[in-house]
Amino acid sequence: MGGRGGCTCSCGGVNHGIGRIDWASNPTSSDYQNAQIKACKRLNGLKKISKPKVLPSQHSVRILQEHIRTVEIVTWLINNNQSGLQPIEKLRKEFQKAATKAIKELPKKQIERFSDHFWCDFFASLVCWIDKEQDAEEQINQFIAGQISDTFVDAVFKLIKDSRETSYGNSLATKPGNRVKTTRDYKDSQAGLTKKCLKDIVTAVLVASFKSYSSSLDSAIKNIKVHFQVLALLLCPDPESHKLVWDHCLAPLFAAQCAQGLKDILTNKNIFIPVLDTWDSPNANTPTTPVSYIK
């Protein structure tokens, strides 16, 4: 799956986390059954807080993240085979093949940079683009037909760059004196990854990702958006330390009806989950006034 700080293996983060998709195809496997039992036990083991905090504890958020990825997402895939599992399996295969090919000739230190939340940035940026674009459905139909425009590539690449230029990796528990002050984009540049190199890689993976829908059973935009959210969450080493994924993938999926039972459990324990990540800034302080919570 990869550590919270990103793995350093040769896959560049392409293979991490998305093995959970295989659990949906084989829900009776001992691996899935054990992971589900463990996630539910940890959730139920959370103690009720007498006085709600402005921000939840890091411990409770990491239990939440794992429960969403191991229980809610896998259950949704099992229950939505035609509109969920089948197209996501196709998307996963095309993505892994294209991403692996795109980075395999790079130096090791550059490949390692893709493990630092690059692929979850990729899919979360697609979600962000859908959220912002008024005629997203019409354009996506063109992309599926193989007509991916330079304008679209530029827009998605800008969203990825914007995220990495403002993303540090600080968590809820990071103390002021220990806060990361260098962005992911800066570290990419230090490793020698140029804008052209990254854009070429993004272009290749975009083309392959939409190619997976050319024979999909269900390519409605509402489903495609969820597919991108699911892959972003599964690929992300730690959504709590990645604002774009939290804001556009984790929070919306947690707010969805499929996670109502999880919300009820946390609410009964006086644990409330923020709509937006407000803690990643290198100078962030714990808010003293209430933030917006997911209801």
| pLDDT per residue as tens digits for the range 138-160 | 898 888 888 899 999 999 999 99
Calculate mean pLDDT across residues 275-294: 82
Quickly state the pLDDT bin for 183 (edges 50, 70, 90): very high
Considering its fold, how many domains does the chain have in total? 1
Quickly state the pLDDT bin for 189 (edges 50, 70, 90): very high
pLDDT tens for 93-106 read 999 999 999 999 99
Calculate mean pLDDT across residues 219-243: 93
Q: Could you tell me if residue 283 is inside a domain?
A: no
Q: Give the Cα-Cα-Cα angle 129, 155, 87 (nearest 5 degrees).
A: 50
Q: Could you tell me if residue 293 is inside a domain?
A: no
First and final C-alpha spacing in the chain: 30
Would you call 60 helix, strand, or coil by DSSP? helix
Report the alpha-carbon distance of residue 69 to residue 89 in Å, rounded.
Answer: 16
Q: Could you tell me if residue 288 is inside a domain?
A: no
Q: Could you tell me if residue 291 is inside a domain?
A: no
Quickly state the pLDDT bin for 290 (edges 50, 70, 90): low
Calculate mean pLDDT across residues 36-44: 96
287 pLDDT above the threshold of 70: no
Full-prediction pTM beyond 0.85? yes
Calculate mean pLDDT across residues 149-178: 95
Q: Could you tell me if residue 292 is inside a domain?
A: no
- Burial grade of 42 (CB within 10 A; 0-12, 13-18, 19 or more): middle
Would you call 180 helix, strand, or coil by DSSP? coil
Distance of CA 99 to the CA centre of its chain: 16
Please tell me the predicted confidence (pLDDT) of residue 66. 95
3 pLDDT above the threshold of 60: no
Please tell me the predicted confidence (pLDDT) of residue 56. 92
Does residue 44 contact residue 64 with C-beta atoms inside 8 Å? no
Q: Could you tell me if residue 178 is inside a domain?
A: yes
Q: Could you tell me if residue 46 is inside a domain?
A: yes
Q: Could you tell me if residue 276 is inside a domain?
A: no
Owning domain of residue 253: 20-268
8 pLDDT above the threshold of 80: no
